[in-house]
C-alpha cells in the first residue's frame, strides 16, 4: 500500500472517531438540557401551587369585626352622672318619718344628740312643686317654739319657691324639750334632706321662732361644719 492510501485511511478513521465523539457530546448536552428544563418546570409548578394555596387561604380567612368598647367612667364621674339624672323625690307639703341607717356629720359636738329612732321622729317638709332634681336648691332647717308645726309660716311659700329653697322642721322640739334633742333633730333633718334632694351645701340655713331662733344660733357654733348659717326669725305678736 502506498503512503498516500495509508494516510487517507488514517484521516477517515480519525474523522469517524471525531464525529462519534461529537455525537456523544451532543447526546450528553441534550440530556443535561432536558434535566435542567425538567427542574425549572417543577419549580414553576411548585411556585404556582404555593400562590394558589395562599390565595385560597386569604379568601377563606374573614376579617374579624371590630368591636368598640365604651369607655369606663371613673367613680367620681359616675357619681356626678347619677346626681344629674336623679329622679325627683316627693314634692308639696307633707309630714314624714325617715328610715334607714342614721346619718352623722363628720364632726360632732357633745351638746348635740345624734342618736334617735328614725321611724319615731316626724318632720314637716315643704318641697316646691317645681322641684325636678335638675337644679340645686337651698335648705331652711327650721326649729319652732311649739312641738307641732304642720304648715309653713304665713307668706313663706312664695319666697321659698321663687328663691329655690326647701324647708324642713322637726316635730316635738318645742321650748319644753332638751337642747341636745332640739339641736340633734335639726342636724338629722338637714342630713336626711341632703341625702334625698339636691341641696347646695353653701345655702343651708338654720332658722326658728322664739326659742327655736336661739337653737339656730347655737347650731351656727356647735355644727358649723355643715355649712349651716344662722338666721334668727322672731314671731311677731
- Say yes or no: 46 and 126 in one domain: no
* Cα(216)–Cα(209) distance, integer angstroms: 9
Share of the chain above pLDDT 70, in %: 60
pLDDT at 236: 33
146-163 pLDDT, tens digit each: 999 999 999 999 999 999
Continuous H helices in 85-225 = 156-162, 179-196, 211-222
pLDDT at 160: 97
Phi-psi region of 60 (alpha: psi -120 to 50; beta: other; left: phi over 0): alpha
Confidence of residue 112 (pLDDT cuts 50, 70, 90): very high
- Say yes or no: 167 and 214 in one domain: yes
- Say yes or no: 41 and 96 in one domain: no
Looking from the CA of 84 toward its CB, the CA atoms found within 13 Å total 6
Q: Is residue 74 part of a domain?
A: no
53-65 pLDDT, tens digit each: 555 555 454 555 5
Continuous H helices in 61-155 = 75-84
- Say yes or no: 24 and 117 in one domain: no
Full domain range(s) for residue 2 = 1-60
Domain count, the chain: 2
Kindly report the pTM of this predicted structure: 0.60
Amino acid at each position: 500500500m502506498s503512503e498516500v492510501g495509508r494516510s487517507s485511511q488514517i484521516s477517515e478513521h480519525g474523522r469517524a472517531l471525531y464525529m462519534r465523539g461529537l455525537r456523544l457530546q451532543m447526546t450528553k448536552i441534550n440530556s443535561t438540557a432536558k434535566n435542567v428544563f425538567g427542574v425549572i418546570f417543577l419549580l414553576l409548578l411548585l411556585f404556582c401551587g404555593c400562590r394558589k394555596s395562599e390565595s385560597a387561604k386569604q379568601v377563606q380567612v374573614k376579617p374579624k369585626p371590630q368591636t368598640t368598647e365604651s369607655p369606663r367612667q371613673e367613680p367620681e364621674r359616675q357619681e356626678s352622672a347619677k346626681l344629674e339624672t336623679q329622679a325627683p323625690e316627693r314634692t308639696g307639703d307633707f309630714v314624714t318619718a325617715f328610715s334607714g341607717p342614721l346619718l352623722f356629720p363628720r364632726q360632732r359636738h357633745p351638746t348635740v344628740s345624734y342618736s334617735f329612732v328614725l321611724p319615731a321622729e316626724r318632720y314637716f317638709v315643704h318641697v316646691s312643686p317645681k322641684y325636678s332634681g335638675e337644679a340645686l336648691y337651698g335648705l331652711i332647717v327650721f326649729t319652732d317654739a311649739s312641738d307641732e308645726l304642720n304648715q309653713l309660716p304665713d307668706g313663706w311659700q312664695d319666697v321659698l319657691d321663687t328663691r329655690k329653697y326647701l324647708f324642713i322642721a322637726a316635730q316635738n322640739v318645742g321650748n319644753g324639750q332638751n337642747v341636745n334633742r332640739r339641736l340633734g333633730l335639726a342636724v338629722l333633718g338637714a342630713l336626711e334632706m341632703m341625702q334625698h334632694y339636691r341641696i347646695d351645701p353653701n345655702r343651708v340655713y338654720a332658722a326658728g321662732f322664739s326659742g327655736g331662733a336661739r337653737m339656730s344660733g347655737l347650731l351656727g357654733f356647735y355644727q358649723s361644719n355643715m355649712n349651716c348659717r344662722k338666721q334668727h326669725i322672731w314671731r311677731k305678736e
